[in-house]
Amino acid sequence: MLLNLFSKTSVWFLILFFLPTFIQAQTVHQDFQETIPAEVLEVVSESEQEVIGTGATKRVQEVKVKLKAGDRKDQVVTIENEVVVLEAGDDIYVSRIVTIGGEEYITYLDFERRPVLFIVLGLFIALLLFFSRWQGVRALLSLAGSVAAIFFLLVPALLAGYNPAATTIAIAAIIMAFVLFGTHGFCPRSYIAFAGTVTAVAVTSAIAIISVDIMRLTGFSSDASVYLNFATNGQLDLGGLLIGSIIIGLLGVLDDVSVTQASVVQELKSANPSLNMFGLYSRAINVGRDHIGSLVNTLALAYTGVALPLILLYSKTESSWLLSLNQEVIAVELLRIIVGSIGLILAVPATTAVAAWYWHNREVVSDGGSPHHHHHHH
């Protein structure tokens, strides 16, 4: 039943994005081109060759492959590969191009990675359902909703030319609603966490917008941005898109800190019903300080891990570290970490204050359901 419930909302979505079309044909200057799945039958030869103009070498393989689709299905061809090390039995994709003059070129395109992706995904789902049970199902459904909001609301809106910063903030609120209410249900803790998160996102977005503008960040710090600009004929505001990416990257951690702080205040009130608003806030904020320290570190390490090749590249340059910090590609990553950390820091007092105000004159019921009003008269 759990798997059936999950499949109704998310399996089709995962398949849509992880399962590319096996054969896609398109005309480029009247040349015929198709992407074909193939199986490596044999590695005929293998050698190390020097990359011209550098001291580096590359491994070049000559391999026999069997085509699994297309006009030449089941035929065996020999191709050259220098991208990844292939072995007999590997499933790959090749590109077949037939020119106007009838010349045929078959080249290595990519490795088949989806089976491993699906295995890891299955392991993730199994572990989540085993340890979290029904809560895990809700978490999966809310995750599917969040991803759907990004792909079916945010992406089309951005490609349509809507303001990236404003659009992302609006979609961020929808995503947080999916995450908080989908995972934790419609309860005071979720309402409080949502209020704290939206407040932090609003302030963080303002800081990001001002920073990107003053620093004159163009958004062209990656190859993907350059290709996107060409693909959209320069119609997108890549600087605004940068702001949007900062906000989206922050949401997951904000959810964590907001729910934790709301829960801490609720548990404090349950343990000591006599605590007033200031007492609840001051005690809960102590927990929040410890949480901030660990989450800021988590956020910084996550972004640093993604940018590790970039860090290594700049460490090999002759320029000083201080000069490297001024490069947009580096400044953008630092801004993500710093602005994201500011959002985390702000989410703690914002959520704690809302929770303390809400719970100070209410009684927490033992089953976590709807609370009863319990006003104190002195």
Measured between alpha carbons, how far is 36 from 30 in angstroms, rounded to an integer?
19
Same domain membership, residue 149 and residue 101: no
Q: What is the pLDDT along the chain (378 residues), one digit of tens a residue?
A: 433 433 444 444 444 444 444 334 444 445 788 888 999 888 888 888 877 777 778 888 888 889 998 888 888 888 888 888 888 888 999 888 888 888 888 888 889 999 999 999 999 999 989 988 888 888 888 888 888 888 898 888 888 888 888 888 888 888 888 888 877 788 888 888 888 888 888 888 889 889 888 888 887 777 777 777 777 777 777 777 888 888 888 887 787 788 888 889 988 888 888 888 888 898 899 888 887 877 778 778 877 887 787 777 777 777 777 777 788 888 888 888 888 888 888 888 899 999 999 887 777 765 444 444 444 444
Residue that terminates a domain, selected from 57, 77, 112: 112
The verdict on residue 120 lying in a domain is: no
Confirm whether 9 is domain-assigned.
Answer: no
Nearest CA-CA partner of 144 in 155, 152, 132, 133:
152
- Residues 290 and 176 reside in one and the same domain: yes
| Phi, psi torsion values for 26, nearest 5 degrees | -145, 155
Among the listed residues 113, 63, 57, 115, the one whose alpha carbon sits nearest the alpha carbon of residue 87: 63
Task: Please check whether residues 101 and 136 belong to one and the same domain.
Answer: no
Give yes or no: residues 52 and 179 share one domain.
no
Task: Give me the domain span that covers residue 202.
Answer: 132-373
217 and 172 inside one domain: yes
Q: What is the pTM of this model?
A: 0.68
pLDDT at 291: 79
For residue 261 the two structure tokens come to: 């702080």
Q: What is the pLDDT of residue 27?
A: 42
- Coil vs helix vs strand at 63: strand
Say which CATH number the domain at 76 has: 2.40.50
Cβ-based neighbours of 342, under 8 Å, separated by 6 or more: 203, 204, 207
Residues 104 and 136 in one domain: no
CA 165 to CA 362: how far, in whole Å?
38
DSSP string, 195-255: HHHHHHHHHHHHHHHHHHHHTT--S--SHHHHHHHHHTTT-S-HHHHHHHHHHHHHHHHHH
What domain count does the chain have?
2
**Any domain includes 174:** yes
